[in-house]
Chain A
Amino acid sequence: MRYIEPHAHMVSRTTDDYMAMVIAGCKAVCEPAFWAGFDRSSVNGFYDYFCQLTDYEPKRAAKFKLPHFSWLCINPKEAEDLVLAREVISMIPDFIGRKNVLGIGEIGLNKNSRNELTILEEHVNLAAEHNQLILVHTPHLEDKLKGTRLIVDLIKNDSRIDPNRVLIDHVEEHTVKYVMDAGMWGGLTLYPESKCTSPRAIDIIENFGADRLWMNSACDWGISVPLAVPYAAQEMRRRGYDDDTLDQVFFKNPVKFLSQCHNFSVRD
């Protein structure tokens, strides 16, 4: 099979993971900017990270013949410090022109605080001004419902943003409808404990259709499975889906969303 990994934090992964993904049929990997697991001490930490995402990591992936794309932002976990967040946002336009950049992400909310919301709004404004795609992280666990509503409402209120160019990630059974009804795309994240298991993600696709939903591993430095996407494809096969459907769900649909950015291209 061939598939796209639309959300993976490869800077935290090993070359073994790159090798396994390519062997499993991965044709492109997309890496959103996120929290390092600790707070960066200054704007310089983000400068180095953006260089890593737009220069060093694509070169590392290229050694495995895997096209690598990235999204840029300051993540919501570090958005409580407005001064730092604004310094980082002001630096992003210098990187937007780099050839593997897909857009602004993963922005969003973590604890649904006022400052997080302010920085989300400033990121959305940045995306609108530079005509960028948007990738949104929704909060974890008990905070997801409220956060998803706040995020979708905020983006809907900005008439410059075409909802079809926004992907709201980490949706689950209680948030997917809100995202679909807003005309946005949704991401189903396959995690062993939090977020979705493969059977649940497939249930959601069976209920809502696959047109505006994709699956991702969101593998990072925590407990996560870099091959979660092809494992989910295998689960769909077990349920009786044919290869054409798998190709639509795991390759053609993500390509359709990502191709809205002219930097994205993938060999068939």
Chain B
Amino acid sequence: MLKPKDKQNSVELYFMEARSKLIDIAAFMDRIERDGQTDDYRYKAFLDALKELDSEKRAESVLLALSDPTEEPIEAATTKAASGAWPDKPQ
């Protein structure tokens, strides 16, 4: 554990930044609905991950919700890129 000697008020430091990101998320969701793209697996995973905001370890839980939870290596890599959400997640 590490703590600053001169601890600052975290709400003072981070509220405006978090507020801005929250509104961006809201606008993103409005945009996806307006464009009729709510069926995209990434957007569905995004909505699932949002539920983790009610959990205790939020950042960790959001990341876990967006992760491939399987344990076995895949047979072969057919692409190099990652999309940010697990495509095979059961809907």
**A binding-site residues for B, Cβ under 8 Å:** 35, 77, 80, 110-117, 139-146, 149-150, 172-174, 194, 199-200, 203, 205-210, 236, 238-242, 245
Contact = CB atoms under 8 A, between A and B. Distances in A.
A208 to B, nearest CB: 8
B40 interface: no
Contact of B66 (A110, A113, A141): A141
Contacts of B78: 111
Nearest to A249: B2
A238 B2 contact: no
Nearest to B64: A174
21 contacts: A80-B77, A111-B77, A111-B79, A113-B77, A114-B74, A116-B73, A116-B77, A139-B82, A141-B66, A142-B82, A142-B84, A143-B68, A145-B63, A146-B69, A146-B70, A149-B71, A199-B14, A200-B59, A210-B2, A240-B4, A241-B5
Contacts of B69: 145-146
Interface residues of B, number: 36
A142 B73 contact: no
Nearest to A237: B4
Interface of A is mostly: helix
Contacts of B80: 35, 77, 110-111
B88 to A, nearest CB: 10
B26 interface: no
B82 A140 contact: yes
A113 B7 CA distance: 45
Contacts of B7: 239-240
B8 to A, nearest CB: 5
B77 A174 contact: no
Contacts of B70: 146
B69 to A, nearest CB: 7
A142 B85 contact: yes
B74 A113 contact: yes
B57 interface: yes
A117 to B, nearest CB: 5
